[in-house]
Amino acid sequence: MTTINKEEIQKFSKLADEWWDVNGKFKPLHMFNPIRIEYILDEITKHFKLNRKTKLPLKNLEILDIGCGGGLISEPMARLGGNVTGIDAAEKNIKIASLHSKESNLKIRYLENSPEQLKEKEKFDIILNLEIVEHVENLDLYLQSCYDLLKGNGLMFTATINRTLISYIKAIIGAEYVLRWLPIGTHDWNRFVKPEELQKKLTDKKFTTNNIKGLEFNPIFNKWKQSDNLSVNYIICSSKN
C-alpha cells in the first residue's frame, strides 16, 4: 500500500523549477506562507509552553514537513530553530529544495520519501501536512503513518481545502481559470476534504483536534488572514492521544 499518487507527483514535478519564483506558478503559496507560519508558531509555542519572542522559538524541536515541495515551509521552520526533515515523493522537488537550502545556509534534511516509507518511528515533535492531503492516494494510510511518526504529545498541522460550492468557485474557477494563480488542473474538487470528514478520520486515528481555523484571502488588502470561515481553505491543529 502507498500514499503516492503518481499523476499528482508528475504534475508538480513539471513545476519544480518555479518553487522559489515569487511571481511564478507558486506565487499563491508565497502569499499564503506568512499566515500559515503565524498560525503554526502560535499553536506550537502555546502547546509546548515556549517563548515566542526569542530568536529561535522552535529550537531543538524535531519537525517533519511532508510534501515539502521546494521547501517553502521547511526553510522558515529551520530559521526559527527547528530541526527540520522535509520529505517529498517527487525527486525533482527534493533536488530543488536541497539546493536552495544550501544557498540559504540552512541545515535541512531532505528525503525523497512518502511518510509510510520512513524508517523512523515516534521521532517528530511536529508534523506539517500543508496543502498535501488533497493530493495523496490513501488518506487513511497517510494519517496512520503520521500518527506512527509523531511523538506522544506531538502536534500535527493539516491544511487543505473544503469541498463546497464556494471552494469550487474560488479555488478552481477563480484561482486557476480567472486569476491564473495556478495552472489549470492543479486541483481536483472531488479530492477536497470537508473539515468534519477530516476531523472524523483524525479522531479515528486517535488524534485530538486542538484548534481549527479558516484561512481567508482579502482581495482589498491582497493578503491572507485567519478566520472562522471554513468554506474554502482551513487548517487543523491536532495532538496525539
pLDDT at position 8 over 90: no
Is residue 174 domain-resident? yes
pLDDT at position 195 over 70: yes
Beta strands in the chain (DSSP E): 62-66, 83-88, 109-112, 124-130, 150-161, 207-218, 223-227, 233-240
If one compares 59 and 6, the residue with the highest pLDDT of the two is 59
For residue 160, the domain's CATH number is 3.40.50.150
pLDDT at position 219 over 90: no
Helix axes 139-149, 195-204, angle to 10 degrees: 50
What's residue 220's pLDDT? 84
What's residue 119's pLDDT? 82
What's residue 122's pLDDT? 67
Total structural domains within the chain: 1
**Average pLDDT for 188-199:** 96
Is residue 152 domain-resident? yes
Is residue 81 domain-resident? yes
Condensed to tens digits (0 to 9), the pLDDT of residues 135-172 reads 999 999 999 999 999 999 999 999 999 999 999 999 89
Condensed to tens digits (0 to 9), the pLDDT of residues 25-56 reads 888 889 999 999 999 999 999 999 999 999 99
Helix axes 91-103, 6-13, angle to 10 degrees: 40
Is residue 163 domain-resident? yes
pLDDT band at 110 (very low <50, low <70, confident <90, very high): very high
Q: For residue 65, what are the CA distances in angstroms to 50, 84, 111?
A: 20, 7, 10
- The residue range of the domain holding 168 is 6-240
**Average pLDDT for 224-232:** 96
Is residue 1 domain-resident? no
What's the N-to-C CA distance of the chain in angstroms?
25
pLDDT at position 112 over 80: yes
Per the CB < 8 A criterion, the answer to whether 223 and 31 are in contact is: yes
pLDDT at position 183 over 80: no
Per the CB < 8 A criterion, the answer to whether 47 and 60 are in contact is: no
What's residue 87's pLDDT? 97
pLDDT at position 241 over 80: no
